[in-house]
Amino acid sequence: MARGRAPGFDATREEILAQAARLFANQGFPATSMNQVAEACEVSKPTLYHYVRDKHELLAQICQSHLQHLVALVDEVSQRGLPPQEHLRALIHSFVQAYGESQNEHRVLTEDMKFLDDTHRARMVDVERQVVARFADAVATLRPELRGAHLHKPLTMLLFGMINWTFTWLRPDGALTYEAVAPMVADLFFGGLGAVKIDPAAVSDPGRSALGPPA
């Protein structure tokens, strides 16, 4: 019979992921050792290796856990059954807030995912694309003609450009909070969304996505 998990296993695992994300975010994945992670978590190295096989698996778990949280946010907003504009506003607000609450994990996802092996990285990228697709569908619901012009995804990527890199300039201890920034992002996006003109000449090949090869 397989031995069950010890009480507190999940809580200890979450603490390990949180401390490792903080170290990776502050000093970079290559510069962080498993010794440092164990010390930050106040556990022995043998105990640390009880939870993860090596540093790369630790990185993969941080990225996977953060992405699962983002998928859960999209699902939660979708279940509210909001009108199209309120739906997209809620998505923007949820993601800006999530990035503010998980700055270390988000920095690791955006800056260190390149250190994963091909299999893990491909899996993470696939989840990222699913999240982007859900946002793009929300954009296209507001302006259906954007889908036909293959512009709903590029506009979504511009939106993520505003959201994803907020952590590089917004100080956690500053006067401006993530809570305050969230509606600003939505207002800026919606204020410009209606002004976007569809220029057929700008879409040289409707069958080719600006985000990569067609599915």
Residue 87 belongs to a domain: yes
Inform me whether the pLDDT recorded for 161 exceeds 80: yes
Q: Which segment of 83-97, 130-144, 175-189 scores lowest on mean pLDDT?
A: 175-189
3-state secondary structure of 145: helix
Residue 79 belongs to a domain: yes
Q: If pLDDT is split at 50, 70 and 90, which confidence band does 171 have?
A: confident
Mean pLDDT value across residues 146-171 = 91
C-alpha Rg value of the chain to the nearest Å? 20
Mean pLDDT value across residues 21-50 = 95
Residue 95 belongs to a domain: yes
Q: What's the length of the chain?
A: 215
Residue 46 belongs to a domain: no
Inform me whether the pLDDT recorded for 25 exceeds 80: yes
Q: How many domains does the chain have?
A: 1
Residue 71 belongs to a domain: yes
| Site of tokens 């504009």 | 85
What local confidence, expressed as pLDDT, does residue 210 receive? 41
Inform me whether the pLDDT recorded for 192 exceeds 90: no
Instruction: Provide the whole-model pTM.
Output: 0.84
Structure tokens of 210?
């600006």
What local confidence, expressed as pLDDT, does residue 214 receive? 38
Residue 212 dihedral angles phi and psi, to the nearest 5° = 140, -175
Domain region containing 90: 62-194
| Site of tokens 């201890």 | 173
* CATH number, position 158: 1.10.357.10
Residue 31 belongs to a domain: no
Residue 88 belongs to a domain: yes
Residue 94 belongs to a domain: yes
Q: If pLDDT is split at 50, 70 and 90, which confidence band does 200 have?
A: low
pLDDT digits 0-9 by tens, 90-116: 999 999 999 999 999 999 999 999 999
Q: CA-CA distance, 193 to 189, in Å (whole number)?
A: 6
Can you count the helices (H) and strands (E) in the chain?
10, 0
What local confidence, expressed as pLDDT, does residue 109 receive? 95
